[in-house]
A and B are shown apart, each in its own frame.
Chain A
Amino acid sequence: MPSWANGSGRLPEPEFIFLPLGGLRPMSQNGKTPLLQAENISLSFGGLNALIGISFEIHSGEILAIIGPNGAGKSSMLNVINGFYHPQVGTITYKGVTRHRMRPHEAAAKGIARTFQNIALFKGMSTLDNIMTGRNLKMRVNFLLQALHWGPARKEEIEHRKFVEGIIDFLEIQAIRGVPVGRLPYGLQKRVELGRALASEPDLLLLDEPMAGMNNEEKEDMCRFILDVNDEFGTTIALIEHDMGVVMDISHRVIVLDYGRKIAEGTPAEVRANQVVIDAYLGVSHD
């Protein structure tokens, strides 16, 4: 443990108001407690089998990468986890509760947040307002009071705004606070989307190709943010990414999908050395 964390038991920055997401944990446990277990998941659209009998675990505090060639079923897997798709077969156990079906808003309320492959922000709204929408589930005051911006609604909004400002500071996007996101370059939009996901204080953060379409500098920044979220707040992260350099650098474990099946799982080094994975990526014919 670093020396400054000893003794006083205080957070290093006295006026730091950005409360840790998902509660302060003693260091990222990166351990064996499964936050989520997927068992024997199968999903098909008509005759197309998107996912076939997939089982895996996401451990608390880890960064898990899901990789695979195009059409391997990666995004479908994320969509199953956050309840957007309902698998025909299989169960998902999240925080010890097993369920067969869950709707996206239930998933969100239970602490699962995500970003999308194709950015899904409100283009006409400012960065600040977009991230504020991520706080929506945390708002307790009724719609009428919110509209009047009166009494408890005002107080609540200030609380949420404080939180959101913490995120803006964390992601270093102060300069675009008031800019409509439609006018922002792609890399910054991705960052705003991450901000909105963080605003809901997720326990599990799902990132669908957070680095697609970015240049090297933007990728480096995004890696930094992902590592910092995981490191500072202990948030568990599952991400899909095509840039192998990134995946191997930042993830603790990797799952490889191919044609809807899980073909490998392990540490980045193990996966890299796995012949099946190499074949899948180099395109060995499937008989």
Chain B
Amino acid sequence: MSEGSPNGVHDTFPARFVENVKRLGKEKIFMREKKFGIWQSYSWHDANIRISDFALGLAALGFKRGDRLGIVGDNRPELYFGMLAAQMLGGVPVPLYQDSKEQEMEYIVEHAETRFALVEDQEQVDKMLGIKGKCPKLDTVIFKDARGLRNYPEAFLKSIASVEELGRAFGKDHPGYLEAEMEKVQPEDTAVICYTSGTTGSPKGVVLTHGQLIFSARKIIDLEHMPPDTSTMAYLPMAWIGDFYYSFVTSIVGGFTVNCPESADTVLQDLREIGPNVFFGPPRIWENILTSVMIRMQDAGWSKRKLFQYFTGLATRIQKKRNQGKKPSMGEWIMSQLGHLLVFGPLLDNLGLSRVKSAYTGGDIIGPEVFDFFRSLGINLKQFYASTEAAILISMPESHDIRGDTNGPTVPWMDVKFSKDGEILIKGPTVFREYLKNPDATKEAFEDGYFKTGDAGIIDQDGHIRIFDRAKDVSHLQDGTMFAPKMIENKLKFSQYIKEAVAVGQEKPYVSVMINIDPLSVGNWSEHRNMAYSSYTDLSQKPEVLTLIEKEIRRVNESLAGEEQLKGTQIRKFLILHKELDPDDEEITRTRKVRRGFVSEKYKDLISAFYTDADHVNTEAKVTFADGRTTTIRADLKIIEVPIIG
């Protein structure tokens, strides 16, 4: 896969990075971070100094070729620098989810035989100290923020600054060491191990090479005509391949600028200050942005609200026409231009999306309503199809042919076919080599040399890939109607009041759903009505809230009734769950995908009550706090029946 390496530069991240340092030097910014209220920049040159010092420091501490560096924390330049430093020495970064519990970290640190860990702060240091005894290979923990660590006596705890200091001394004593180590790094070497979030079973470590990732990123940059001044926002969990690819891989391959927000709470403010020209978010991010817009509109004055409602209604109608290949009428066109002037322009500016040339979503299936909403605002949103194991792209829509329910044609380097059951199978140069130390799972994941994605879908007459759901989740109702829960759930999640939904109906007479209300949005709604509530559980069972959600379900049923394939899967019954689905309770993954098997087992009493005459059900559920303590909440949940249309 060394084809097309320009200027004879190796397809490895260290080599590409050094090339960028030479080419872009002090002129261009590699990373920016908002800190102390100001955007602080690292040019490629500045970054190189810190990365080299840190890499040499790691070497001084005994980090060798093949060693793995665990990385835990929010998106911080120093942590991305650490990834490169490890790669320069022929090592492998293993990013972990920063909100993982100790046991989850223990599994990965132990499984990946991580000897070194680079963590953000005390919170993560504490977790590392907690697992150190059980992970004998872990011998050095390096932290970024010293805060709160003053009295930690452990000698294996080191600050980044002290490691860099060691590196400077080591570099003086060993001139040429780093260059020699970097020479040894080959495109076939492992560049990263990303642990999949695991909707089923233990996480699996996906091994991806320098060559694969760089090949795929170079193709994408060409395909999407991403300009050299591309600026992006690094705000997704570093452990997710999506962030690794978007913030690390493409920026090093394309020489792009990456911006790290001040904190997780300030992402939307920081987005507005940066105004990136490329923006990527999984469906839940788009859902969140949509909800925050709707909440703000609720709080807006009467005239603004009316304007917003009128113009979004109009834009949605026009978008529907476009989806069917029709053009808007002259009158509609004129009014929509007015809408952009009065409402959408200012709104996009407010969201920090006004400079976005291309916006992307992937990693899960987006609801067509959410998708159409952003398209209708004038954002060039594209839904691609990707998988960690494919490093990462499988299909990407072309700019002139974008639809909400498909993911565009297969990328040229990937070969796609289908199994008997309609599961998507892929083969190509970027498909991963193996799951780390898990030959059984690796073997199981392939069929005749094709990787089994686990997604059910089709290729339509225009050559676009369309995904229904995870293959194992697609099933049938009792009467044989096809039932793809994700489609129904996505329609529900379009509602600003519904945060999460789990549809059930496999081998049952009808479809029922369990709802998580959006506490912010419903909380705001109830405040406007002077309704007091004490907790999520209390709010979720208010009769007014149940009526509110019932209305949303009726709307979804109307929409389902309008689609031939889905008509038979209208929702008959629903209830609102008394707790939010939470990754700490293992109900959803860290990337917030529902773990269906676990949920249907945990809430089996609720699910079976759907299929009796009961109009309420008593239940209790275990809740895990972030520190691992647990408690139980009990509730009496009402089951509401909704009329079926047609």
Do A and B originate from a single complex? yes
Which residues of A are at the interface with B, using a C-beta cutoff of 8 A? 2-5, 7-8, 10-15, 17, 27, 161-162, 165-166, 168-170, 172, 174-175, 177, 224, 227-228, 231-232
Query: Which B residues are CB-close (under 8 A) to A10?
Result: 161, 165
Nearest to B143 among chain A residues (CB) is A12
Output the residue of B162, B262, B265 with the most chain A CB within 10 A. B162
Q: Is the CB of A2 within 8 A of B263?
A: no
Q: Which of B145, B159, B265 contacts A4 (CB 8 A)?
A: B159
Q: Is the CB of B161 within 8 A of A14?
A: yes
Interface string of B18-39 (1 = CB under 8 A from A): 0000000000000000111110
Query: Which B residues are CB-close (under 8 A) to A232?
Result: 147-148, 150
Q: Is the CB of A228 within 8 A of B265?
A: no
Q: Which of B37, B150, B153 contacts A168 (CB 8 A)?
A: B37
With both chains docked as a complex, state the minimum distance between the C-beta of B41 and any C-beta of chain A, in angstroms.
12
Interface contacts beyond A168-B36, A224-B148, A231-B148: sample of 9 additional A-B pairs, CB < 8 Å, sorted by A? A4-B159, A10-B161, A13-B146, A13-B161, A165-B36, A165-B38, A168-B37, A170-B147, A228-B147
Q: Is the CB of B161 within 8 A of A2?
A: no
B149 contacts chain A at the CB level, 8 A cutoff: yes
Given contacts A174-B265, A175-B265, contact A13 B145 (CB under 8 A): yes
Q: In the assembly, what is the distance between CA of A224 and CA of B123, in Å? A: 11
Q: Is the CB of A231 within 8 A of B151?
A: yes
Q: Which of A3, A168, A172, A228 contacts B157 (CB 8 A)?
A: A3
Q: Which of A3, A8, A27, A162 contacts B150 (CB 8 A)?
A: A27
Per CB-CB distance, the 5 closest pairs between chain A and chain B, nearest first, are A12-B146, A175-B265, A165-B36, A12-B159, A4-B162
Q: In the assembly, what is the distance between CA of A161 and CA of B37, in Å? A: 9
Q: Which of B147, B165, B269 contacts A8 (CB 8 A)?
A: B165
23 contacts between A and B (CB under 8 A): A2-B149, A2-B150, A3-B157, A3-B158, A4-B159, A7-B162, A7-B165, A8-B165, A11-B161, A12-B160, A13-B146, A13-B159, A13-B161, A15-B40, A27-B150, A165-B36, A165-B37, A166-B36, A174-B34, A174-B37, A174-B266, A175-B262, A175-B266
Q: Is the CB of B158 within 8 A of A4?
A: yes
Interface residues of B in 29-68 (CB under 8 A from A): 34-38, 40
Query: Which A residues are CB-close (under 8 A) to B162?
Result: 3-4, 7-8, 12
Given contacts A3-B158, A4-B158, A175-B266, contact A17 B148 (CB under 8 A): no
Nearest to A220 among chain B residues (CB) is B627
Interface string of B226-267 (1 = CB under 8 A from A): 000000000000000000000000000000000000110110
Nearest to A165 among chain B residues (CB) is B36
Q: In the assembly, what is the distance between CA of A11 and CA of B269, in Å? A: 31
Interface string of B152-187 (1 = CB under 8 A from A): 111101111110010000000000000000000000
Query: Which B residues are CB-close (under 8 A) to A7?
Result: 162, 165
Q: In the assembly, what is the distance between CA of A10 and CA of B165, in Å? A: 10
Q: Is the CB of A4 within 8 A of B157?
A: yes
With both chains docked as a complex, state the minimum distance between the C-beta of B51 and any C-beta of chain A, in angstroms.
14
Query: Which B residues are CB-close (under 8 A) to A3?
Result: 155, 157-158, 162
Nearest to A216 among chain B residues (CB) is B625
Q: Is the CB of A174 within 8 A of B263?
A: yes
Q: In the assembly, what is the distance between CA of A10 and CA of B164, in Å? A: 12
Q: Is the CB of A2 within 8 A of B157?
A: yes
Query: Which A residues are CB-close (under 8 A) to B265?
Result: 174-175
Query: Which A residues are CB-close (under 8 A) to B160?
Result: 12-13
Nearest to B34 among chain A residues (CB) is A174
Q: Which of B35, B155, B263 contacts A172 (CB 8 A)?
A: B263
Q: In the assembly, what is the distance between CA of A224 and CA of B269, in Å? A: 26
Query: Which A residues are CB-close (under 8 A) to B37?
Result: 161, 165, 168, 174, 177
Query: Which B residues are CB-close (under 8 A) to A14?
Result: 161
Given contacts A12-B161, A14-B161, contact A169 B148 (CB under 8 A): no
Q: Is the CB of A2 within 8 A of B148?
A: no
Given contacts A3-B158, A175-B266, contact A169 B36 (CB under 8 A): yes
Query: Which A residues are CB-close (under 8 A) to B145?
Result: 13
Q: Is the CB of B147 within 8 A of A175?
A: no
Q: In the assembly, what is the distance between CA of A20 and CA of B40, in Å? A: 22
Q: In the assembly, what is the distance between CA of A26 and CA of B265, in Å? A: 34
With both chains docked as a complex, state the minimum distance between the C-beta of B187 and any C-beta of chain A, in angstroms.
34
Nearest to A169 among chain B residues (CB) is B36
Q: In the assembly, what is the distance between CA of A14 and CA of B161, in Å? A: 7
Query: Which A residues are CB-close (under 8 A) to B38?
Result: 165
Interface residues of B in 107-163 (CB under 8 A from A): 144-155, 157-162
Query: Which B residues are CB-close (under 8 A) to A177?
Result: 37
Q: In the assembly, what is the distance between CA of A69 and CA of B89, in Å? A: 62
Q: Which of B35, B153, B266 contacts A2 (CB 8 A)?
A: B153
Nearest to B36 among chain A residues (CB) is A165
Q: In the assembly, what is the distance between CA of A36 and CA of B270, in Å? A: 45
With both chains docked as a complex, state the minimum distance between the C-beta of B195 and any C-beta of chain A, in angstroms.
28
Query: Which B residues are CB-close (under 8 A) to A166?
Result: 36
Nearest to B164 among chain A residues (CB) is A14
Output the residue of A2, A11, A166 with the most chain B CB within 10 A. A2
Q: Is the CB of B147 within 8 A of A174?
A: no
With both chains docked as a complex, state the minimum distance between the C-beta of A65 and any C-beta of chain B, in angstroms.
20
Q: In the assembly, what is the distance between CA of A5 and CA of B37, in Å? A: 28
Nearest to A174 among chain B residues (CB) is B262
With both chains docked as a complex, state the minimum distance between the C-beta of A286 and any C-beta of chain B, in angstroms.
38
Query: Which B residues are CB-close (under 8 A) to A170?
Result: 147
Query: Which A residues are CB-close (under 8 A) to B262?
Result: 174-175
Q: In the assembly, what is the distance between CA of A11 and CA of B147, in Å? A: 11
Q: Is the CB of A175 within 8 A of B263?
A: yes
Query: Which B residues are CB-close (under 8 A) to A13?
Result: 144-146, 159-161
Nearest to A10 among chain B residues (CB) is B161
Query: Which A residues are CB-close (under 8 A) to B40?
Result: 15
Nearest to B163 among chain A residues (CB) is A4
Nearest to A18 among chain B residues (CB) is B36
Nearest to B148 among chain A residues (CB) is A228
With both chains docked as a complex, state the minimum distance between the C-beta of B58 and any C-beta of chain A, in angstroms.
15
Query: Which B residues are CB-close (under 8 A) to A228?
Result: 147-148
Q: Is the CB of B269 within 8 A of A175?
A: yes
Q: In the assembly, what is the distance between CA of A193 and CA of B152, in Å? A: 29
Output the residue of B152, B161, B262, B265 with the most chain A CB within 10 A. B161
With both chains docked as a complex, state the minimum distance between the C-beta of A127 and any C-beta of chain B, in angstroms.
11
With both chains docked as a complex, state the minimum distance between the C-beta of A17 and any C-beta of chain B, in angstroms.
7
With both chains docked as a complex, state the minimum distance between the C-beta of A236 and any C-beta of chain B, in angstroms.
16
Output the residue of A162, A174, A177 with the most chain B CB within 10 A. A174
Q: In the assembly, what is the distance between CA of A161 and CA of B155, in Å? A: 36
With both chains docked as a complex, state the minimum distance between the C-beta of A169 and any C-beta of chain B, in angstroms.
6
Query: Which B residues are CB-close (under 8 A) to A161?
Result: 37
With both chains docked as a complex, state the minimum distance between the C-beta of A70 and any C-beta of chain B, in angstroms.
25
Q: Is the CB of B35 within 8 A of A169?
A: yes
Q: Is the CB of A231 within 8 A of B266?
A: no
Query: Which A residues are CB-close (under 8 A) to B34?
Result: 174
Query: Which B residues are CB-close (under 8 A) to A12?
Result: 146, 159-162
Output the residue of A4, A172, A224, A228 with the most chain B CB within 10 A. A4
Q: Is the CB of B150 within 8 A of A17?
A: no
With both chains docked as a complex, state the minimum distance between the C-beta of A213 and any C-beta of chain B, in angstroms.
15
Q: In the assembly, what is the distance between CA of A170 and CA of B263, in Å? A: 12
Query: Which A residues are CB-close (under 8 A) to B155?
Result: 3
Query: Which A residues are CB-close (under 8 A) to B159?
Result: 4, 12-13
Q: In the assembly, what is the distance between CA of A161 and CA of B161, in Å? A: 25
Nearest to B267 among chain A residues (CB) is A175
Nearest to B165 among chain A residues (CB) is A8
Query: Which B residues are CB-close (under 8 A) to A227?
Result: 148
With both chains docked as a complex, state the minimum distance between the C-beta of A243 and any C-beta of chain B, in angstroms.
18
Q: In the assembly, what is the distance between CA of A10 and CA of B160, in Å? A: 12
Q: In the assembly, what is the distance between CA of A232 and CA of B37, in Å? A: 22
Q: In the assembly, what is the distance between CA of A12 and CA of B165, in Å? A: 11
With both chains docked as a complex, state the minimum distance between the C-beta of A241 and any C-beta of chain B, in angstroms.
21
Q: Is the CB of B36 within 8 A of A2?
A: no
Q: In the assembly, what is the distance between CA of A273 and CA of B145, in Å? A: 39
Query: Which B residues are CB-close (under 8 A) to A2?
Result: 149-154, 157
With both chains docked as a complex, state the minimum distance between the C-beta of B39 and any C-beta of chain A, in angstroms.
13
Nearest to A163 among chain B residues (CB) is B36
Output the residue of A3, A227, A231 with the most chain B CB within 10 A. A3
